[in-house]
A and B are shown apart, each in its own frame.
Chain A
Amino acid sequence: MASGEEDGSLEEKENNNKKRAKSAIATAWLTFYNIAMTAGWLVLAVAMIRFYLQKGTHKGLYKSISRTLKFFQTFALLEVGHCAIGIVRTSVIVTGVQVCSRIFMVWFVTNSIKQVQNEESVILFLVVWTLTEITRYSFYTFNLLNHLPYFIKWARYNMFIVMYPLGVIGELMTIYAALPHVRKSEMYSMRLPNKYNVSFDYYIFLIIIMLSYIPLFPQLFLHMLRQRRRVLHGEVIVEKDE
């Protein structure tokens, strides 16, 4: 056997071992991540139920869970990283848009505009988000452990049909409720003249955000529908050419 052939197959084996080690680490991390996120959203769900059972009202509910919500929702930024480095096979842009819209709601609407925290629309999207995330993260967890019960797959790819529109309604109503307070306080806004020669009106910005739901929501919804057809019915979808 020529030494050249030996070297060739040795290099290949080394590369394969490296690849296997990397994917084992990736799987271990992702499993940990998804278990942690499932647990986090379960804690949120329990906290919300307990508050409502004890107090009988939704007023003050947001305030009681806001720190936990901010922690776990912000942590979800890692998911964009997972797509970017390729250990999760989803589009970075789709994930990015989803996570950014959540971060925006939590940090720049309900966190900063305290007056909307007791709106019913906030409870609506909180409930939707909680149910959706518990289903989604447990789906990923079971998938990674190769023991996916059919009912979780079914839930993940069917609940969104109701949850998504409800969530959008909750979010839009919340932003709408925030508008008068933003207008009055002029928060996050900058007027001319100033040395940076720029201006920013948060009120108008929020209106633009609300309008952006019009093109964005159908695209994200259709993306989920296509995933649903592929996963549940094994249809081969011909992707649009780029």
Chain B
Amino acid sequence: MKHYEVEILDAKTKDKLCFLDKVEPNATIGEIKSMFHRSHPQFYPARQSIRLDPKGKSLKDEDVLQHLPVGTTATFYFRDLGAQISWVTVFLTEYAGPLVIYLMFYFRVPFIYAPKYDFTTSKHWVVHLACMCHSFHYVKRLLETLFVHRFSHGTMPLRNIFKNCTYYWGFAAWMAYYINHPLYTPPIYGEQQVKLALIIFLFCQIGNFSIHIALRNLRPPGSKTRKIPYPTKNPFTWIFLLVSCPNYTYELGSWLGFTLMTQCLPVAFFTMVGFIQMTVWAKGKHRSYLKEFRDYPTLRSPILPFVL
């Protein structure tokens, strides 16, 4: 068996950073990253981007050395991705915040509203219902992060946690401030409006959860395989016939329900911003499905059936 020699150069300065000899032909990029980490302890594997070309795409951890277009002396380029943080950590932090923050406004903790309102409760029953729905939503997200989702990537850049938490925590505070305000005005159409909103909200929460379960079952534990999702026996998954990312469709539906329930402009705003971001993600995911699978169903749209 012929061994390979691997040299790793800095993608920007082209300096020789590392030379590995006697590398097995069936070594993976992941194993090479571990070897590089030994000589450069500050660059743990998660923050290494190894590529064939200084400006090219990152190679995957699973790629095998002998299957790459390199000679027996392989040259790779290294780019530092910056400090990394695990997806699970980011999700838990960004979801725990809104849960706690909303409750602080709900219980009217001091220094938010005028002192005479401290620790009082709202006289509108829709405010109590909204608190339950909002809390349920984020508890569901936390549990899904811990027990349901199977992540493709282990980590993301550290600065994302600041960006994401600002977004989630900021909006949660802004919405909660008005919904739990002593001068809150309940929905115009009263009980009818709130009941309809609750039905939409619950329907979409169940739908969203069904999709998450269906996606989890596509992927065996510990694997990173990608398969086309199809409708299952659960009617909530039949939307896969029309949409590539129904988890986002249901998420939009939940927040539309919450907007209707609270009749609060900041909630509408949050729903719209979330919708824009999810549409961008859905379009990207839809495009990768089309690229990867020749037989991808043509009837599907990224996020809204037939529309978007």
A interface residues, Cβ below 8 angstroms from B: 192-199, 238, 241
Contacts and interface: CB of A to CB of B under 8 A. Distances in A.
B265 A197 contact: yes
Contacts of B79: 241
B262 interface: yes
B178 A198 contact: yes
Contacts of B264: 196-198
B48 to A, nearest CB: 14
Contact of B265 (A193, A196, A238, A241): A196
Contact of A192 (B82, B183, B262, B263): B183
B305 interface: no
A197 to B, nearest CB: 4
A196 B266 CA distance: 9
B18 to A, nearest CB: 20
B265 A198 contact: yes
A197 B188 contact: no
Contacts of A195: 185, 188, 263
Interface in B237-288: 262-266
A93 to B, nearest CB: 15
B67 interface: no
Given A238-B12, A241-B79, A192 B181 contact: yes
B12 A197 contact: no
B303 interface: no
Main secondary structure of the interface of B (DSSP, over half): loop
Contacts of A238: 12
Q: Which one of B12, B82, B263, B265 has the greatest number of beta carbons of chain A within 10 Å?
A: B265
Contacts of B184: 192-193, 197
Q: Which one of A192, A196, A197, A238 has the greatest number of beta carbons of chain B within 10 Å?
A: A197
10 contacts: A192-B181, A192-B184, A195-B185, A196-B265, A197-B179, A197-B181, A197-B184, A197-B262, A197-B263, A197-B265
Given A197-B262, A197-B266, A198-B264, 12 more contacts: A192-B178, A192-B183, A192-B184, A193-B183, A194-B185, A196-B265, A197-B178, A197-B184, A198-B178, A198-B265, A198-B266, A238-B12
Nearest to B49: A241
Contacts of B183: 192-193
Nearest to B178: A197
A193 B178 CA distance: 10
B186 to A, nearest CB: 9
Interface string B182-209: 0111001000000000000000000000
Contacts of B181: 192, 197
Nearest to B188: A195
Contacts of B262: 197
A108 B264 CA distance: 26
Nearest to A195: B185
A201 to B, nearest CB: 13
A241 B43 CA distance: 17
B259 to A, nearest CB: 11
Nearest to A193: B183
A188 B263 CA distance: 21
Contacts of A192: 178, 181, 183-184
Interface in B139-183: 178-179, 181, 183
A197 B186 CA distance: 9
A195 B184 CA distance: 8
Contacts of B263: 195-197
B11 to A, nearest CB: 10
A47 B82 CA distance: 54
Contacts of B12: 238
B266 to A, nearest CB: 6
B291 to A, nearest CB: 22
Nearest to A192: B183
A48 B82 CA distance: 52
A234 B178 CA distance: 54
Q: Which one of A195, A198, A199 has the greatest number of beta carbons of chain B within 10 Å?
A: A198
A171 B200 CA distance: 48
Interface string B4-35: 00000000100000000000000000000000
A88 to B, nearest CB: 23
B38 to A, nearest CB: 24
Contacts of B178: 192, 197-199
A195 B268 CA distance: 13
A190 to B, nearest CB: 10
Nearest to A191: B183
B266 A193 contact: no
Nearest to A238: B12
B102 to A, nearest CB: 15
Nearest to B13: A238
Nearest to B177: A199
B255 to A, nearest CB: 16
